Every structure is written in C-alpha cells, then in structure tokens.
Amino acid sequence: MTSPEDTEPDGDDEGTAAASTAIYVYGIVPADVQPDDDATGIHDAPIDIVTHGEIAALVSEIDPGRRLGTPADLQAHARILDGTSHVAPVLPLRFGAVVSDRDAVINGLLADHEDEFASALDKLEGFAQYMVKGRYVQETILREIVDDSPKATSLLEEIRDQPEELTRDARMALGEIIGHALEAKRNADTRTTLEILSPLTDTADVRDPTHDEDAMQIAVLFEVDRQGELEHTVGELAERWDNRVTMRLLGPMAPYDFIVART
C-alpha cells in the first residue's frame, strides 16, 4: 500500500504560485469525520474536509507565498492529526503536503488511492499510536554502571580531584565504558518493556534513542478504548524502576510508525 506519509500530491506549480490560496493536506480519514467548528490548523486556518467516496482528506487553506516549517506549523500539523486520532482512524501525510486546490486533492490523492486508504482506515478503526518513553535518572544509572564495573570504579578513582589535562586518557576510557554500558542497559530495558507490553499488544516499533539518557522509546498501536490498561502497565513499570527510569506514556496520536508501505 502507498504510505500517506510518502504521498505528496502534485499540483500545478505555476498555478499555485499565481493563486491567492492553496490547500494544505494533513491526513486521510473516513468520509463521515467532521472537524470541530473551532478546529484550526497551520496559520490558524479553519480545518475542513474534502471527500471522495468513503474517504476524505483533512485540509485547510494557506497562503502559498508564506513559508512553512516554523515550530508552530509543525505543532499545528501534529495537533490536527493527533486530535483526530482520539475519535477516528487517521492516516497522516508527511508535513508540507500542499496542492493547488480541492480538485487536486481529489484527483491527485484520494481517487488514485481510494481502495488502499479505505482498507488501511478500516484496519485502524478503534486504534491509535501511543509512545512508551523512559529516561534514565542520571545519578542512579551512573552509579549502577560504576558499581557493575571494577574498571570504571578504578578509573573514577584515578581521575577524582585531578586536573583534566592530566587524566584525559582515563576520562576517555571511562566515557567509553559508560557509553557501552548504557547501550547494553538500554537494550535490556527495552526488551523487558516489550515483554511486559506483549500481553497487551504485539504491534510495537522500537525507535532509536534521541538522547544519551534515553532508556527506551517504543511506539505501540493500541485500542483507544483500552488506554487505561496501557496506563496501568506503564505505571507498574514506573514503580518498578522508581528513581532509576522516569516513565512517560504519550498518546493517543496518529499512527506515524504503523503505515504499511507498498510492497
């Protein structure tokens, strides 16, 4: 199936440049979805839908001469998609999908992929993405690493209260030990988290760390009506790793990690 995130409708560039407005497309939803009357997206424009058969696109009008890409733009894009995921399945488009007009939304996007999008939305009915995130408590995890490694303990004693220029090699060696140990602990703690989540869902995607102290980042596709069960499970993990890993559960959000690409 074509991933909506990889689908960028082609408009007429010359026509878009001359037009006073263009259409920004956020994602694909069932045709019966109706945005709230006060819902606004990029540049605070009202959210509307363009329908074709059983599917629709969430859209808003934008000024084609106004540059996209500010933090506010990115937040508005995610806010519309994630807010929709609370009440309906949604297939997100990659940020920046702009076409010339509503006809281009239908002819360049919805009509070409109607069956694929309808099938994907049907499979996602009742589900949304959640992020299970953990961040190590720095003092605790460093103490754990040092306690587990006689070599790290020795190096720490060697550099204690000594000038940096005299202990550069020891500091580099200690940094390598800590880096390798963090990676090993992250892998182990991620496996533990997946095992604990497995009775609830087998649809999970492990993300790469974005910070040295990340313990895990796991996206899961889960039923919105059962969110309480997921909250309970993550809460139990937080108690288990109290003062070692700070746990967070984010969502529901659009299923950014679970779009099936064409094979």
Q: Is 66 within 8 Å of 236 (Cβ atoms)?
A: no
At residue 17, the pLDDT reads: 44
Q: Quick check: 65 pLDDT over 90?
A: no
Q: Quick check: 3 pLDDT over 70?
A: no
Give the CATH number for residue 217. 3.30.70
Over residues 245-258, the pLDDT tens digits come to 999 999 999 999 99
Among 158, 215, 164, which Cα is nearest to 186's?
215
Mean pLDDT of the 1-19 span: 52
Residue 247 lies in a domain: yes
Among 66, 109, 65, which Cα is nearest to 91's?
109
| CA-to-CA dists, residue 120 to 29, 142, 258, angstroms | 10, 45, 10
- Confidence tier at 6 by pLDDT (50, 70, 90): low
Structural domain span for residue 100: 4-125
Return the axis-axis angle of helices 138-148 and 168-197, rounded to nearest 10°: 110
Q: Is 67 within 8 Å of 93 (Cβ atoms)?
A: no
Structural domains of the chain, count:
2
At residue 256, the pLDDT reads: 94
- Confidence tier at 261 by pLDDT (50, 70, 90): very low
Domain boundary among 83, 109, 125: 125
Q: Quick check: 16 pLDDT over 50?
A: no
Q: Quick check: 7 pLDDT over 90?
A: no
Torsion angles phi and psi, residue 113, rounded to 5: -130, 25
Among 205, 207, 262, which Cα is nearest to 7's?
262
Question: Do 13 and 94 lie in a common domain?
Answer: yes
Domain boundary among 125, 160, 176: 125
Over residues 75-85, the pLDDT tens digits come to 999 999 999 99
Residue 177 lies in a domain: yes
Over residues 79-103, the pLDDT tens digits come to 999 999 999 999 999 999 999 999 9
Torsion angles phi and psi, residue 172, rounded to 5: -65, -40
Mean pLDDT of the 33-39 span: 91
- Confidence tier at 18 by pLDDT (50, 70, 90): low
Q: Quick check: 27 pLDDT over 60?
A: yes
Q: Quick check: 39 pLDDT over 70?
A: yes
At residue 263, the pLDDT reads: 27
Domain boundary among 78, 107, 125: 125
Mean pLDDT of the 213-225 span: 96
Distance CA 252, CA 223 (A): 9
- Confidence tier at 4 by pLDDT (50, 70, 90): low
Over residues 54-64, the pLDDT tens digits come to 999 999 999 98
Over residues 157-174, the pLDDT tens digits come to 888 877 877 788 888 998
